[in-house]
Amino acid sequence: MTYDCLVIGGGPAGLTAAIYLARFHLSVIVLDHGQGRAASIPITHNHAGYPQGIAGRDLVRQMRLQAERYGAQFRVAEVTSLERNGDDFIAMADGELVAARAVLLATGVVNHRPPMPDDLHTEALQKGLIRYCPICDGFEITDKDVGVVGSGERALNEALFLRSFTSRVTMISTQDTHDLSREQFATLARHGIEVFLGPITEIELKENRIIVGLPGASMTFETIYPAMGSDIRSELAGALGAKRTEVGCVEVDRHQRTTIAGLYAAGDVVLGLDQISSAMGQASVAATTIRNDLCEQRMMLRA
């Protein structure tokens, strides 16, 4: 069958859109590879409506159940290609073709991780020893010993942001240099942020501490924040010729339309605040736009 809309990505953006689209009486299928960032969040405390916080996997599960209640379909699959077929789209997902009149990209980003085994990273993430979102959980590290792993302006800005939560912030490079100017070093010093050079030789966990090994030394923190950038999963949009920013974000208008007719994007794959609430807001706009655009197309065909 040809669906009204294919949603690629099953995080907060994709699931919000699926709920809206299904409740608009549109046929919708969500394809998701099952490795999104939201599900890996141990617990989020700044998502409105959950005073005690909610685990990311529980939030995603409840949103999926809500979408399924109204008829949205789901398939665990990774979309490897997306092409135009006349006015429709054809996606290849794990060897199967899926056709849709409209497509919403909610593919998100993949964080660059510090050098450590996957199982150790998972354990550290679950214990709150590694965190990726100072906006989300800066409150939780109030007055704690925090390390910011990274170099350059990205790490500088994250260290300064975290400085408003704790006076004990240290910046560690993953390499043997820091890409900072003399003025930037002075800014860090003025805020009491020490700077150490890498490379990081190993990372260990010990009870409720994370230990970062450096040449000839080791440092112990209650939390580290990797400020090492991310890969924006916008390749499918790029393959269709959709316009993207220099860093790879999909460009959209205020209705979440891309530069390709029938292709929309929401969540972390577009430029904006990488927050669950922001992704959900964009998705609600995108879903409503998709509904209106599809209705207009049908009316034109009948005319």
> How far, in Å, CA of 73 to CA of 79, rounded?
15
If pLDDT is split at 50, 70 and 90, which confidence band does 174 have? Answer: confident
Asked if residues 133 and 111 have their Cβ atoms less than 8 Å apart, the reply is no
Strand partners, 32: 76
Provide the whole-model pTM: 0.94
Would you state the pLDDT for residue 233? 97
Show the CA angle centred on residue 135, arms to residues 249 and 171, nearest 5°: 90
Would you state the pLDDT for residue 299? 82
Would you state the pLDDT for residue 298? 84
**Which domains, ranges and CATH numbers included, belong to the chain?**
2-110+230-302 (3.50.50.60), 113-226 (3.50.50.60)
- Does position 277 have pLDDT exceeding 70, yes or no? yes
Average pLDDT for residues 33-45, to the nearest whole number? 92
> How far, in Å, CA of 277 to CA of 259, rounded?
24
Around Cβ 298, how many Cβ atoms within 10 Å? 11
- Does position 301 have pLDDT exceeding 90, yes or no? no
Would you state the pLDDT for residue 35? 85
If pLDDT is split at 50, 70 and 90, which confidence band does 3 have? Answer: very high
Average pLDDT for residues 100-120, to the nearest whole number? 96
When the pLDDT of each residue in the chain is averaged and rounded to a whole number, the result is 95
Would you state the pLDDT for residue 105? 98
Pairing of strands 223-226, 217-221: unpaired
Around Cβ 183, how many Cβ atoms within 10 Å? 7
Show the CA angle centred on residue 106, arms to residues 85 and 245, nearest 5°: 85
- Does position 162 have pLDDT exceeding 70, yes or no? yes
Would you state the pLDDT for residue 253? 98
If pLDDT is split at 50, 70 and 90, which confidence band does 202 have? Answer: very high
How do residues 218-267 score in pLDDT, each as one tens digit? 999 999 999 999 999 999 999 999 999 999 999 999 999 999 999 999 99
Burial class of residue 303 (count of CB atoms within 10 Å of its CB; 0-12, 13-18, 19+): exposed
- Does position 303 have pLDDT exceeding 80, yes or no? no
3-state secondary structure of 79: strand
- Does position 201 have pLDDT exceeding 80, yes or no? yes
CA atoms within 13 Å, Cβ hemisphere of 298? 10
Percent of the chain with pLDDT over 90: 92
